Structure 1
Amino acid sequence: MALKTADEYLRSLQDGRAVYYRGEKVADVTTHSELGVGARHCAIDYRLAADPHHASLCQVTENGRTLNRFYKTPRNADDLLKRRELIAATTQAGRAIIQLIREIGTDFLFAHAIVAHAMKETLKAPYHERLQAYHGYLAENDLAMAVAQTDVKGDRSGGPSEQEHPDYYVRVVDRRKDGIVVRGCKAHTTSSIYANEIIALPTRALADADADYAVAFAVPANVKGLRFIVSPLSGGSKSAFHYPVSSRHKIYDTLTVFDDVLVPWDRVFLCGETAYAGVLALGFVEFHRFTAISYKLPLMDLMIGAAMLMAEANGIEKAGHVREKLSRLISYRETVRALTVAAAHECALKGPGVAVPNTTITNIAKQYFAENYHAMVQKIQDIAGGLLVTGPGEEDLANPETKADVEKYLGGKKGFGAHNRLKLFNLIRDLFASEIGGYHELLAIHAEGSLEAQKITILRGFDAAACRSFAAECAGLDL
């Protein structure tokens, strides 16, 4: 099958999936007044791939077939750098809002290719062949994917089998000749209502008592028993003037409920092997955090550009404290970019020859981005000033009784009339001082793993023993 068009992708979502939004069942996510915005945003992925100007980046040829580059298993640093470039390009096309309909799904495919290969060698498990077949199916049919990893967890002081409610973690409740039956719920599943396939995997390491929870699988988004309860956070009809980004570009997250869903055996990729649950969970985030630091770059570009334009509009672009803030924003961006490139260059080949970004460098980049994001937002807000949240609206420019006042009193430096200055305020408010701004701030801390998870990974992955030995040698210690 050839690459899908954006229209073909949107039609593929009209399949009777069970979507609930603000207490009501949604018949069609593509035509819904609010959720349809997110569907069209995700279709950018397909539009970009069909654009001749982006074909060399978005498309690859393997065995005579043209596929989307997202499905290409990375074999070396260049493959990872191209993947980074593709993720950044699709995010930039979405005005710094990523689509996440292929990125996370392929993160899983690459990670589990390594784990399933190891399981084949040690346990003679069938998952490697199943995963290869599923990967080929996705690529051949140019399908969109979402990943459901984070269980709702309940009492976090106990493991899955220690919960008062046994379904706080997704589990196998029946093993049948035709497959397994799964039950439970996953939280904050991004872009799930815009995916053709839903992939589930464990969220943590598991004990032997948790065997029923050691499960990874994939199902179509319209499978019987699967329900999506959509977060209303990104919702609401918004003016393009007041919300220049979020009125056109949205992603939605869901509670993803598996209510006795039947999964055929050929779509089961882990079932009871507790020793590999944590390995798969950690392997997934090795790729997923590389995806994270790749899609942050367009947002940081917008930070720099918006701050520069706002400083010019306010006539303060030459002020020392403003130049210092711009310098910090640029350093922030370039540090994350350089670390991302370094992580690709220092990749390691694992399992069946899959190139894995350097785990330590990737986590340092993610930690650096997260720990400094709020401080960078503060710099932009400081440059913009209080009118960011107290200025008049589009309606005041349209009203003859107030238009002259707004145009007279809200102009900035020569060349920046009131209308353009308000547009700049609106862009910055939309991204950094609104509902979506708060979403980005929380995303920086918790998405793709918490700060503590990154710190643990950095400590675990770095060879500190060599540093210790060197220090002992220099001190003349006899240890």
Structure 2
Amino acid sequence: MGLRTGDEFRKGLADGRRVFYRGRKVDDVVGEPELALAVDHSALCFDIAADRPDLAVADVDGDPVSAFYVAPAGVEDLVRRGALIEEVSRRGGGTIVLKEVGSDAMFALLRATEGQGLENARAFYRRVCRDDLALAVAQTDVKGDRSLAPREQADPDLYLHIIDEDDESITVRGAKCHTSFSANADEVIVLPTRAMGPDDADYAVSFAIPIDTPGLNLYVSPYAAGERNSFEFPISTKHKLLESLTVFDDVRVPKDRVFLNRQPELAGPLALAFVDYHRFTAINYKLPLLDIIVGAASLIAEANGISKAGHVKGKLTELITWSETVRGLAQLSAVRSRPGEHGVQQPDPLAVNMAKYHFAHGFHNAVAILTDLSGGLLATGPGGEDWDNPEIRSVLEKYYAAAVPAEQRLRLLNFIADLTARDYGGYQSVLATHAEGSLEAEKLQISRSFDPTGARNYVRDLAGIAAL
């Protein structure tokens, strides 16, 4: 098929997928306005190929392929991937779009599977590149009682597991949560959520299936639901992600689509391999969001007439320091990358996790600074209906003027409120804490990735202490 356009992507979503949203089954995700918004957002990763082929299109054996899907083979490949992710996120209002996540999973499969699973992964990868498929990733199990192993849960379906197998297929049951893009993707890749022991072999499973596969049911989160106007919600009226509880109700998976089949020794390495790429994606797609926060802080300080105050300059400097540190670590993670298994380049896990941790650790402080500079109108300002009434607008224009005209100030305040104080802002706050891994998960990977041997030996030499 080759590269698809955004319209071709939309047409491909017309199938028999079972999607539930706000208490009812949705027959057409493109025809449902609140879901169509997310489809349009994801279409950006197809449309970018038309005007940025230098960045978004690659030549593979003489055929054009989406550059999102080019498995990195060296530092330059990762640098280019980071630039592509940053650019498509910039078009998406500082939010991830679609192809980034599925390609993260494919690279992990190419690195961390073995035997027939690896052969299946390579065949699937070739088909994804050829047909320009959009992929969701279902990794996080619902987990139940987190103090218990998968096999110890009161309900065995709280982790996705194999319940049957024959010569041609496996059958799986269970659920995954936080599945981004599932309702508007072509296929879903399932990955293990954690390391598994021998007794949890039934839960050590990975595969890919079309979204319209019988038994696959998607329950889409209603966050940011309902009608909204572009005056009050300038970001969330244009950009939306679909997150689902993804339920596998005795789903049959052909064995040529299975990448991990009761191989617990590979579950942990596969989960961590995905983390390497997914957090690299995270720190690059967050870069436009950092620019948004710094830019909005600077503009609202100027609009409110406080930009020359010393404490305001200090707060802006704090935001710049936070933003540029994340950017520098993101670049470092590519520069320090190293060859991984089967020739797929691995981003430096220490720099990747430091960047992600630094972003997440500083996000809420950055929002607090932006809120402080903006003032209470983030919560108490006028709405779109007021602004649309000429009689009321004249009052608003008179009394909400500051160092800039009222319209400029109010539109900027609504932009900041949408980003920080309203439901989309709450979504971003949760993403900063939990998306692509929690703060504690990142700290754990930082600890695992740092080798203190060189520093310890240096101190021993300086101190005249012999190594034990």
Task: Please tell me the residue identity of whatever aligns with 2:10.
Answer: L
Which of these residues, 87, 90, 101, is aligned with residue 89 of structure 1? 87
Asked whether 1:244 is paired with 2:244, we answer no
* SS of aligned partner of 1:34: helix
Is residue 234–residue 251 contact of structure 1 (8 Å, CA) maintained in 2?
A: no
Equivalent position to 2:77, from 76, 79, 85: 79
SS of the counterpart of 1:262?
strand
Superposed CA RMSD in Å reads 1.1
1:324 offset after TM fit, Å?
A: 1.2
* Cα offsets for 1:80-112 (capped at 9, x unmatched): 01111111111111111221x211111111122
Q: Which amino acid aligns with 1:11?
A: K
Match of 2:449 among 461, 469, 473: 461
> Residue 109 of structure 1 corresponds to which residue in structure 2?
106
Structure 2 CA distance for aligned equivalents of residues 234 and 88 of structure 1: 24
Alpha-carbon shift at residue 400 of structure 1 (Å): 4.1
Equivalence for 1:396: 386
Does the aligned pair in 2 maintain the 1:240–1:247 contact within 8 Å? yes
Aligned equivalents of 1:182, 1:264: Cα separation in 2: 11
Aligned-pair CA distance for 1:375: 0.4
1:476 to 461, 464, 467: 464
Residues 129-164 of structure 1 show CA distances to partners (whole Å, capped at 9, x for unaligned) of 111110010010011000000000001111110111
TM-score for both structures, normalised by structure 2: 0.98
CA distance in structure 2 between the partners assigned to 1:37 and 1:104 by the alignment: 19
Task: Judge conservation of contact 2:18–2:217 (CA < 8 Å) in 1.
Answer: yes
- TM-score between the two structures when normalised by the length of structure 1: 0.96
Matches within 5 A, 1:79-478: 79-99=77-97, 101-116=98-113, 119=114, 125-413=115-403, 416-478=404-466
In structure 1, what is the Cα distance between the partners aligned to 2:389 and 2:66?
49
CA distance in structure 2 between the aligned counterparts of 1:440 and 1:251, rounded to whole angstroms: 11
In structure 1, what is the Cα distance between the partners aligned to 2:426 and 2:410?
21
| 2: CA distance, partners of 1:38 / 1:87 | 18
Structure 2: distance between partners of 1:32 and 1:131: 34
In structure 1, runs of 5+ residues without a counterpart are: 120-124
C-alpha distance in structure 2 between counterparts of 1:391 and 1:214, whole Å: 52
2:4, 2:46 within 8 Å by CA — same for their partners in 1?
yes
Q: Deviations over 1:163-204 (max 9, x none)?
A: 110111000111112211111000100111111010001000
Structure 2 Cα separation of the partners of residues 381 and 314 of structure 1? 13
Partner of 1:59: 57
1:69 is matched with: 67
Shift of 1:396: 2.1
Are the equivalent residues in 2 in contact too, given 1:180–1:263 (CA < 8 A)?
yes
Deviates more, 1:387-396 or 1:77-86: 387-396
Percent of matched pairs sharing the same residue = 46
Q: Distance in 1 between matches of 2:387 and 2:147?
A: 55
Distance in 2, matches of 1:417 and 1:377, equals: 24
> What secondary structure is seen at the aligned counterpart in 1 of 2:342?
coil
Tell me the distance in 2 between the aligned counterparts of 1:360 and 1:328: 24
Mapped partners of 2:342, 2:192: distance in 1: 22
The separation in 2 between residues aligned to 1:368 and 1:34, in whole angstroms, is: 33
Tell me what 1:122 maps to: none
- Given that 2:95 and 2:286 are in contact with CA atoms closer than 8 Å, whether structure 1 keeps it comes out as no
Q: 2-side partners of 1:107 and 1:405: how far apart?
A: 52
- Find the aligned partners of 1:405 and 1:278 in 2 and give their Cα distance: 61
2:34 is the counterpart of 1:44: no
Distance (Å, rounded) in 2 between the aligned partners of 1:448 and 1:400: 46
Helix, strand or coil for the counterpart of 2:237? coil
Distance in 1, matches of 2:393 and 2:186, equals 48
Q: Alignment length, in residue pairs?
A: 467
Q: Which structure 1 residue ranges, 4+ long, deviate > 4 Å from structure 2?
A: none
CA distance in 2, matches of 1:350, 1:400: 62
Aligned AA for 1:105?
G
Kept in 2: contact 1:234–1:252 (CA 8 A)? no
CA distance in 1, matches of 2:393, 2:346: 57
